Amino acid sequence: MALIRANDTESILAAAMPSLSDSERAAMSRHAGFAHTAVLVFPTTLDGLAAELAQHGITVGAMTPSVVVRDRLSRRYTVPVADLTVGIFHASVPDRLDRPCEVEIFAMVTPPELAHIAADERRHGWENHFALAVPAADAIVLNGLMTVTGTQMRPDGGGYNAHEDSTVLYFRNDHHPAPAYRRLELVSTGRFPDLVTAHRRESVPGTRLLRLLTGAWATQAIATAVELRLPDHLGTTADLATLAAATGCDRESLGRLVRYLSSLGILHASADGYALTDLGRLLRSDGKNSMAALASMYGGPFYRSFAALTDAVRTGAESYERVFGAHHFKHMAADPELAELFHRSMAASNAMFTEVVRLIDFSAARTVVDVAGGNGELLSQVLAAHPCLRGVLVDQPHVLTVAEPALAPFADRCALIPGDFTEVVPTGGDVYLLSRVLHDWDDAQCHTILTTCAANMPEHAELLVIERLLPESAGTESLAIPWDVHMLCNVGGRERTESHYRALLAKAGFTLVDTQPLPLDGYVLRARRER
């Protein structure tokens, strides 16, 4: 009762979910209001309970049978539902803005043989909660509220109470410092069986863990689809029998694979057969920004090296060299077919480069130097967008062979220079590019690369560093987080925060002047030499 009197919707949301933004909190408040707090008590009988509560100044109405909490207790303690009697009593209490609110009292009849349930519930407070009511019963609004709440708290079961015609969805945050705010109930009039089923499924911790543990299976299923050229064949046929003949596969086994790919969102199943989704089209070998080669890399060499991740974590040394007998770059340089696959896989991130050309003003530049430019895709896009620019790409000789086709249309204004960029880079440029290079190396080697650039760049030149950035604070999603482990495992490098790059640049004589986001969680960092 004191909790209700001290709060309203805004304040209880702020206390329970402090990381919500003001706009998110305001949006939730528009669709849901603080409705009640709830506690589970354990009388030996329900007879006379209302009168006993009245002696404590708590006036309650008629009892309503509990369905959801009774079922939760039954499952938690493996007690038959028929052996449990749980009632709900309501007591009106105004919130701090004098709006109507309630204390919801769940009462479980507790004979001696159920005393262990009372002891455990009192210790942990599994059923105690505060509630937000959704007055307009709407599946879309309710789903949106579930989504926002799910970013702050984990699903914790729910159900439908036919006696009250209400759907309840519970969420929990065991790490909240105040027990009163650890559990939330979203309650809405009406029945939403699909939402309840999905929510209860996600409430079982093992469901999410199993989904994570089967991630390797998804990688292999996608890589297998690419190896069978399934996305390419789906451009001309949708029938499973025809697909099996075209790919040389057993029809039943292929059917099991495409069903899995459909569940991953790669394919769409219909009465007419199968079709590629937007995700699936990225796996066509002839598609723009195709990720087919990337799937082959992740399902092939990198899949094998990731199996030795434990060694990398224990030793700090890349596991790729342990598996293949040589560092990633040396091993691929010695195998032209593998090197070609790797460079094609790098093209999967070409979507980043279109935004670089759009965001960066190259109008004052005459020469752009791409340091370790790999397949030449970034430089080719810069030159295509700016016909007056000249380009220089410096990299290892075998890499320049891969870059030649992309830069062939600009042969009259582009030079390909073989060399070790850790020792020297061409002079005379106006803009220097370091795209997805620094994350391949440790801090010491990054310092060498950056100081080499600084020593050879004219004073007016600008350096563009393109990388993914680790979040500065915990709880923010980013592709850089798994890629950081990938770099540990496969090249011995690392992803870094913006602050980390700022410090590396400063140590090498640069000032970071701007950071702009790019697609695929990339960023372009603009730096100039300190004067």
Catalytic residues: 439
Alpha carbons 477 and 471: distance in angstroms, whole number: 8
What sections of 214-335 are H helices per DSSP?
215-227, 230-233, 240-247, 251-263, 278-281, 292-298, 301-306, 309-315, 319-324, 328-333
Which of 302, 415, 294 is closest to 343 using CA atoms? 294
90, β-bridge pairs = 104
Burial of 474 (0-12, 13-18, 19+ CB in 10 A): exposed
Residue given tokens 């030793």 in the structure block: 315
Q: How far apart are CA 25 and CA 79, in angstroms?
A: 39
Task: Please state, in angstroms and rounded to a whole number, the distance separating the CA atoms of residues 347 and 334.
Answer: 21
Nearest to 438 by CA among 382, 398, 376, 484: 484
- Token match 């530049």: residue? 365
Alpha helix (H) residue ranges in 240-291: 240-247, 251-263, 278-281
Distances (CA, A) of 397 to 313, 367, 375: 33, 21, 12
Neighbouring residues of 488: CB distance < 8 A, sequence distance ≥ 6: 309, 312, 313, 316, 318, 494
Per the structure block, which two tokens stand in for 262?
């459909």
Q: Using only the alpha carbons of the chain, give its radius of gyration.
A: 30
Distances (CA, A) of 423 to 15, 28, 131, 447, 455: 55, 57, 64, 12, 10
